[in-house]
């Protein structure tokens, strides 16, 4: 496929813009992006929210199977249920965008994410309600990513048309950097306990809200 694409797909980018400036120019573009408060605010907001999902992916097998005694063959069903919530919210987000801006949806979703993360932390710390009560806010948090992720990405790239490729690459780097750290923290904070997983997820929710609130402020500029 790669060879066929290289052989038969024509280059659509003008030749005089290809590779301009080299490494130095690329670094200057990344520097400009890092100084763009709106871009970084949206990128970090989406990245921190995604970090909560990676904390869930890292911690949930041990929490569900070892701590709560869920049979291994049923873990996949629980994981799939959360994935279904994410898919459903992503589809509903498309409908919401016909009536609301991406920034407005993201702002509300971030608030919900904070509440769900803190609710999850409270349940994990108290042990109240057992596994069912742990699953409810966890499902809600994962589902909320269908609103936070796409809208954070759209807002971050909205005014980056002239450097969209670099901006997208930087967003990916930030997101997976946060994901790596959050996954590590689940193990470091409490050996993969429900509390450590919930604490990292809640922290990611708070940081996602804070990044948007502090760096973007009242909304995306026109």
Q: What is the largest CA-CA distance in the chain?
A: 64
Predicted pLDDT of residue 164 = 86
Task: Collapse the DSSP code of 159 into the 3-class scheme (helix H, G, I; strand E, B; otherwise coil) and give the result.
Answer: coil
Q: Which of 6-10, 133-137, 158-162 has the highest mean pLDDT?
A: 133-137
pLDDT band at 177 (very low <50, low <70, confident <90, very high): very high
Please list, in sequence order, all residues whose beta carbon lies within 8 angstroms of the beta carbon of residue 156, skipping any fewer than 6 positions away.
Answer: 38, 39, 42, 43, 46, 167, 171
- Check residue 35 and report its DSSP letter: T
pLDDT, one tens digit per residue, over 18-65 is 455 577 888 888 898 999 999 999 999 999 999 999 999 999 999 999
Residue 201 corresponds to which tokens in the numbers above?
A: 């997820």
pLDDT, one tens digit per residue, over 105-127 is 999 999 999 999 999 999 999 98
Domain ranges of the chain: 34-216
Q: Is the pLDDT of residue 222 over 50?
A: no
State the Cα–Cα distance between residues 21 and 179, nearest whole angstrom: 32
The CATH class that applies to domain 34-216 reads mainly alpha
pTM: 0.86
Mean pLDDT (whole number) for 63-74: 92
State the Cα–Cα distance between residues 171 and 207, nearest whole angstrom: 16
- Give the up-direction half-sphere exposure of residue 206: CA atoms within 13 A in the CB hemisphere: 11
């Amino acid at each position: 496929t790669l060879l066929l694409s290289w052989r038969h797909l024509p280059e659509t980018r003008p030749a005089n813009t290809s590779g301009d400036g080299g490494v130095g120019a690329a670094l200057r573009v990344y520097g400009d992006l890092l100084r763009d408060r709106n871009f970084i605010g949206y990128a970090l907001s989406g990245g921190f929210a995604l970090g909560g999902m990676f904390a869930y992916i890292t911690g949930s097998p041990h929490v569900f199977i070892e701590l709560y005694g869920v049979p291994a063959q049923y873990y996949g069903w629980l994981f799939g249920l959360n994935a279904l919530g994410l898919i459903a919210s992503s589809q509903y987000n498309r409908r919401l965008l016909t009536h609301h801006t991406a920034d407005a949806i993201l702002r509300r979703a971030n608030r919900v994410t904070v509440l769900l993360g803190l609710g999850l932390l409270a349940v994990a710390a108290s042990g109240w309600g057992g596994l069912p009560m742990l699953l409810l806010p966890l499902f809600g948090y994962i589902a909320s990513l269908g609103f936070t992720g796409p809208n954070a990405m759209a807002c971050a790239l909205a005014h980056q048309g002239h450097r969209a490729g670099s901006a997208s690459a930087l967003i990916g780097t930030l997101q997976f950097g946060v994901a790596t750290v959050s996954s590590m923290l689940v193990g470091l904070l409490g050996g993969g306990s429900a509390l450590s997983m919930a604490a990292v997820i809640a922290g990611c929710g708070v940081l996602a809200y804070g990044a948007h609130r502090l760096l973007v402020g009242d909304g995306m500029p026109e």
